[in-house]
Amino acid sequence: MCGRMTMTHPNDAMAQLFEAAPANDLPHVPNYNVCPTNAVAVVTARAGGAESADRAFRPMRWGFVPHWYKKPNDGPLLINARAETIAEKPAFRAAVRTRRCLIPATGFYEWTKGEDDARLPWYFSRPDGAPMVFAGIWQVWDKGEEPLTTCAIITTGASDWMAKTHHREPVVVAPEDWATWLGETAAKAAPLMRPAPEGAFQRWRVDREVNSNRARGAGLIAPLAA
């Protein structure tokens, strides 16, 4: 599962990285505590294929809203979609065929249980400091006063290393696979929904301050003193 993340890389640098045209209303960065229902910056495909105009770098609500919801909170908050069942689930099956996206992040948090079931947070990032890029799906929910564009992160079973902390992990898409995941090539995207290779992440314990969705600041990802 991926239920909280960070984004500290500048929006203009991310737009250049993905060869994407940035929207004017992208979420403010840095953000060390991106929570469900917050806006996240998402990459969507070139409308006419790999040789057409730039991709789009645009804000979306993190929390996928199925088309049958009468209001955004009409059912469970769908921040993640399981890779193993995404093609069959009514909420996701159309999106995974035709509306795939890339969701960049600097890192993400997971929790283990301590004494008395205390929630102990861990921070995960790439060892080289580069952004990680999650596989996502998106759609527009149009039953409100204004259309709401929403997304979810795809997760898969954890690698042996990740399983020491959590049994699920976000699907990370390598740069050479971005075009395939976005549907800009004829290659199949399903094989990309797999755990990250060994060494893809590093992790350390952080203070329980991040357990609050109101917590802010770079101190949230500081390694916990021994």
By the 8 A CB rule, do 32 and 216 touch?
yes
pLDDT at 114: 85
Q: What is the pLDDT of residues 13-54, one digit of tens each?
A: 999 999 999 999 999 999 999 999 999 999 999 765 545 568
- Domains delineated in the chain: 5-221 (3.90.1680.10)
Q: Which helix (H) or strand (E) holds 15?
A: helix 11-17
pLDDT at 145: 85
**Residue ranges of the chain with per-residue pLDDT less than 70:** 1, 47-53, 226
- pTM, full prediction: 0.95
By the 8 A CB rule, do 37 and 213 touch?
no
- Residues 6 or more apart whose Cβ sits within 8 Å of residue 12: 22
pLDDT at 116: 82
